[in-house]
Structure 1
Amino acid sequence: MSDVPVSDVDLFTHDARVDPYPIYEELRALGPVVHLSRYDLYALARYEQVRAALMDWRTFTSARGVFVDPALNAQLEGITLCSDPPDHTMMRAVLGRPLRQDRMRDVAPRIEAEADRVVSKLVDRGRFDAATELAEHLPMTVVSDLVGLPDQGRVQMLKWAAAIWDVQGPANERFTNAMPSVEEFLAFAVNDAVPGNIDPDGWAAHLYQAADRGELPREKCPVMMLDYVTPSLDTTILAITNAIALFAQHPEQWDRLRADRSLIPHAINESLRLESPVPQFSRVLTEDHEIDGVPLPAGSRVALLYGSANRDERHYPDPTRFDITRRPSDHLAFGRGEHVCVGMHLARLEITALLHRLADRVSRFEIVASTPMINNGLRGLEHLEVTVQTDETR
């Protein structure tokens, strides 16, 4: 379409996954909508347009898939992520029950105790991998136990979750390499993670119990486990790791947080805004639609670039600055509207518990080495080796 700026940029190259921000800035400058010719996507890179799309599920449907690859979108139609009301409302009501904010009160003591244990052990050592040893600990000990999968499933959860995110992108090499793991998980969900093999008090079992009560079709239960495995792990792990990296790079912000713990919720929001673990999803237009004066035809697939929107200078002054007093509670890292992240209260609880306990002990983080995660659907650090100073050692 002649009215739409065109870019042949590839958001899924190695370099783009490591540092997409120059690309995002270029796309925001081109206009409110940019046609990504490589994948026939219409990208929304500015905050106002991304938020508006998230709030309008009738026009920007998820029911035709939210990924890039057409074949995978067709295959996954009907899962929670790839659905709209009323089906989405039905599934989300069941999925979200153990993840409601009021239910977090029951989980909080356990998470806080584990956070205290892991922080004490690692800080006493003085040097550790903040990604694998700190950030992975709560999701892999507490959350995996709450889901209640059989032991062989827990061992594979991280591998499966990363693979599921990798197939969010186009059918590139990472996508192809990830597909066997995705198929392995789906086979496990259908054949192994079933009543009799799963913890009867766990979240997975509660899906089947809801089906027995007639709240949802029983055949939905296996694929709905995706919603407990995928959002519960990598996204939270990356969010924790990103926060530690940012505080290492901005020690004055860490001093502020230590002096005023009421800043922790804002620090979490600011970290998620600046380094969003999930940089994009897509939607499909159900009708001809005009976006800020740009007409797009029904059936267009639209990429919502959360990672770009959260750094849009039109919405956030000095958007690349990390400032925990900013209070950006309107960030889009968790999405918005009908598809807002069902596990966000759990993620906040985990990050809050760790930041409180780290603030009790750590005066400074120093980055020794880091390795970026290269994944089609995620962005962050796979490894972050740090040393820490305490008030006693300074």
Structure 2
Amino acid sequence: MSAIPVSDADLYTPGARADPYPIYRELRALGPVVHLSRYDLYALPRYHDVRAALMDWRTFSSARGVFVDPGMNAQLEGITLCSDPPEHTAMRAVLGRPLRQDRMRDITPTIEAEAERIVTELVDRGTFDAATELAEHLPMAVVSDLVGLPDRGRAKMLEWAAAMWDMQGPADERFEAAAPMVGEFMDYVAQEAVPGRIHPEGWATHLHQAADRGELAPDKCPALMLDYITPSLDTTILAITNTIALFARHPDQWDLLRADRSLIPHAINESLRLETPVPQFSRVLTEDHTIDGVPLPAGTRVALLYGSANRDERHYPDPERFDITRRPSDHLAFGRGEHVCVGMHLARLEMGTLLDRLADRVSRFDTITSTPLINNGLRGLEHLEVTVQTAGQRG
């Protein structure tokens, strides 16, 4: 172990949560594996190694949790995120049915109508918060209805989801402050997200029906709500906000997209690569394993730094440049392998629809103010006030 480079870098300070990229560059330069001494984690900062780990669940196990805090990992063992096949496969098969790519056709008209409405309203106003007024709209207006949760509690859904992500990190002040809110959310889903209170055709009902058929244990249903709520809200909201911020900084790229809408999927991938909303999860080695010549023993917890891997100069030329013609479909923002994001098709649909509607009406975004989100598990902007020029305006 003495040959492994050691770093005392703290990825959980407010400064590092707002801008982790200098630390990521240092870690990539140190080696394929770096011991983060503050948290006794062995970080994988380079693209090749992170991707290889994601594709090898037998060696890089999620079953002992994927967070930083040992207590939190123990508490969440057995949920979809913190499980391996075959248990993971069975739960994901149930969870993912309404989120399959072919099912997106059914909800596309609703997404398109809501996107048209909110874009028209905000662009006509001229100045708005792209985070709270634009990016939050589709996830909050559409996803909550799709899940079919009762109205009571919806106002706190974003607060609860952010708290869950705060508990992905070490047991710091943010972690401790989030714990009561996570408990509140779990009480809500246990008492309210049950047959008789949820919409009979919503995704939550689908989970309970699967339990009735014996496809999963009934006591899994409340925890599985986490898999519908947390990935469908904050991550998509941050991804949309990050994308608008990037286009505000790079108007030439917005011109390209407006001229060629076939670039929208590539713009989404490039935004997710450059500004990854979930920059890290961890795994535990099930056996002794060597990573690029670095031996690690069984039981080692390794941090997979997606946010660093997606900017690895060994894989992406000029990785800090925003280029929507790059076509980086191999980015790791959605993960890979068994744990690839179950909601990625919904996220792509929401992002793509908003970009298409915005491209019809907006010729320029200009940032007025922005505020970074400080969260242990997420990265992006909490606020992004922009003003827009419409297609008929001159700068």
TM-score normalised according to structure 1 size: 1.00
Q: Which moved more, 1:183-192 or 1:118-127?
A: 183-192
Please name the residue that 2:324 is paired with: 324
One-letter code aligned to 2:264 = I
Residue 323 of structure 1, CA deviation: 0.2
Could you tell me how far apart the structure 1 residues matched to 2:268 and 2:147 are?
Answer: 24
Please name the residue that 1:107 is paired with: 107
Instruction: Tell me how many residue pairs correspond in the alignment.
Output: 394
Could you tell me how far apart the structure 2 residues matched to 1:361 and 1:200 are?
Answer: 38
One-letter code aligned to 1:12 = Y
Could you tell me how far apart the structure 2 residues matched to 1:80 and 1:249 are?
Answer: 37
Please name the residue that 1:200 is paired with: 200
Write the deviation string for residues 228-285 of structure 1: whole angstroms up to 9, x where unpaired.
Answer: 0100000000000000000000000000000000000000000000000000000000
One-letter code aligned to 1:338 = E
Write out aligned runs for 1:347-362 (5 A): 347-362=347-362
1:258 matched to 2:258: yes
Please name the residue that 1:161 is paired with: 161
Please name the residue that 1:346 is paired with: 346
Residue 169 of structure 1, CA deviation: 0.1
Please name the residue that 2:214 is paired with: 214
- Three-state SS of the structure 2 residue aligned to 1:257 is helix
Residue 144 of structure 1, CA deviation: 0.8
Write the deviation string for residues 300-338 of structure 1: whole angstroms up to 9, x where unpaired.
Answer: 000000000000000000000000000000000000000
Could you tell me how far apart the structure 2 residues matched to 1:3 and 1:223 are?
Answer: 41
Could you tell me how far apart the structure 1 residues matched to 2:303 and 2:14 are?
Answer: 19
Please name the residue that 1:366 is paired with: 366
One-letter code aligned to 1:14 = P
Could you tell me how far apart the structure 1 residues matched to 2:378 and 2:309 are?
Answer: 16
Please name the residue that 2:137 is paired with: 137
Residue 187 of structure 1, CA deviation: 1.1
One-letter code aligned to 2:286 = T
One-letter code aligned to 1:170 = P
- Three-state SS of the structure 1 residue aligned to 2:231 is coil
One-letter code aligned to 1:218 = P
Please name the residue that 2:75 is paired with: 75
Residue 29 of structure 1, CA deviation: 0.2
Moved over 6 A (4+): none
Write the deviation string for residues 133-156 of structure 1: whole angstroms up to 9, x where unpaired.
Answer: 000000000111101111123221
Write out aligned runs for 1:30-179 (5 A): 30-179=30-179
One-letter code aligned to 2:99 = L
- Three-state SS of the structure 1 residue aligned to 2:81 is coil
One-letter code aligned to 2:203 = W
Could you tell me how far apart the structure 1 residues matched to 2:286 and 2:137 are?
Answer: 42
Please name the residue that 1:286 is paired with: 286
Could you tell me how far apart the structure 1 residues matched to 2:143 and 2:190 are?
Answer: 21
- Three-state SS of the structure 2 residue aligned to 1:225 is helix
- Three-state SS of the structure 2 residue aligned to 1:342 is coil
Write the deviation string for residues 329-349 of structure 1: whole angstroms up to 9, x where unpaired.
Answer: 000000000000000000000
Please name the residue that 1:14 is paired with: 14
Please name the residue that 1:239 is paired with: 239
One-letter code aligned to 2:66 = V
TM-score normalised according to structure 2 size: 0.99
One-letter code aligned to 1:259 = A
Please name the residue that 2:248 is paired with: 248
Please name the residue that 1:295 is paired with: 295
One-letter code aligned to 2:71 = A
Unaligned runs of 5+ in 2: none
One-letter code aligned to 2:271 = S
Could you tell me how far apart the structure 2 residues matched to 1:154 and 1:233 are?
Answer: 12
One-letter code aligned to 1:89 = T
CA RMSD after TM alignment: 0.5
1:185 matched to 2:181: no
Write out aligned runs for 1:370-381 (5 A): 370-381=370-381
Could you tell me how far apart the structure 2 residues matched to 1:304 and 1:152 are?
Answer: 37
Aligned-residue identity in percent: 81
Residue 393 of structure 1, CA deviation: 2.0
Residue 61 of structure 1, CA deviation: 0.2
One-letter code aligned to 1:310 = N
Could you tell me how far apart the structure 2 residues matched to 1:187 and 1:335 are?
Answer: 29
Unaligned runs of 5+ in 1: none
Could you tell me how far apart the structure 2 residues matched to 1:82 and 1:266 are?
Answer: 30
Write the deviation string for residues 64-123 of structure 1: whole angstroms up to 9, x where unpaired.
Answer: 000000011001100000000001000000000000000000000000000000000000
- Three-state SS of the structure 2 residue aligned to 1:379 is coil
- Three-state SS of the structure 2 residue aligned to 1:311 is coil
Could you tell me how far apart the structure 1 residues matched to 2:254 and 2:359 are?
Answer: 8
1:5 matched to 2:5: yes
Write the deviation string for residues 22-80 of structure 1: whole angstroms up to 9, x where unpaired.
Answer: 00000000000000000000000000000000000000000000000001100110000
Could you tell me how far apart the structure 2 residues matched to 1:56 and 1:107 are?
Answer: 33
Could you tell me how far apart the structure 2 residues matched to 1:278 and 1:152 are?
Answer: 28
Residue 392 of structure 1, CA deviation: 1.7
One-letter code aligned to 1:90 = A
Please name the residue that 2:390 is paired with: 390
One-letter code aligned to 1:105 = R
One-letter code aligned to 2:393 = T
One-letter code aligned to 1:319 = P
